Amino acid sequence: MRGELSKETAQKASEVYTLQVSIIGAMTDEEKAVPAKISADAKKRIASKVGTSAQAVTDCIGKYNFMRNAVLKMGEIKRSGKELPKTWEEMEKLLGGGYRGVPGPGRQAAHVPGANVISEAGSRGKNAPCPCGSGKLYKRCCWER
């Protein structure tokens, strides 16, 4: 079963994706252009239109904003001829944080002991939480990739 998703996991991922597409689709062009400045009232409007909570909208907008900034930054780096980041951690560092456990405006960091522990040999412990954010142990998630 290694490398395969259970039906429940696949269904949940599909539901999350569908919700995020709906939230982004409910945003105006102005909101998409500057997602960090979406007001609380706009988030409530989007939540009501999509049929979800304002917190789900806030989380989705945070991820959308991070990824939008990542794409823009990668374009700048590529045009300048500099070397592109090779890992997700390098990308988060380049952007000054991210949405996976790194505090953004008004948020506290989620502390996950051992989440970013890398040995002196440069490898992550297989019993550490997976850096992809799945909540699984590294050995049961991304270790073989």
pLDDT at 135: 72
Lookup: tokens for 50: 């999509």
pLDDT in tens, 48-70: 999 999 888 988 888 888 888 88
Q: Residue 23, Cβ neighbours under 10 Å: how many?
A: 23
| C-alpha distance from residue 101 to each of 9, 33, 104, 114 (Å) | 22, 24, 9, 13
Q: d(Cα 47, Cα 69) in Å, to the nearest integer?
A: 23
pLDDT exceeds 60 at position 79: yes
Higher pLDDT: 84 or 108? It is 84
Contact yes or no for 127/137 (Cβ under 8 A): yes
Per-position b or e across 103-137, b if 16+ CB within 10 A of its CB: eeeeeeeeebeebeeeeeeeebeeebbbbebeeeb
pTM for this predicted structure? 0.57
pLDDT exceeds 90 at position 13: no
Contact yes or no for 106/97 (Cβ under 8 A): no
Q: d(Cα 47, Cα 41) in Å, to the nearest integer?
A: 10
Contact yes or no for 43/61 (Cβ under 8 A): yes
Nearest Cα residue to 101 out of 48, 137, 63:
63
**For 14-25, what is the mean pLDDT?**
91
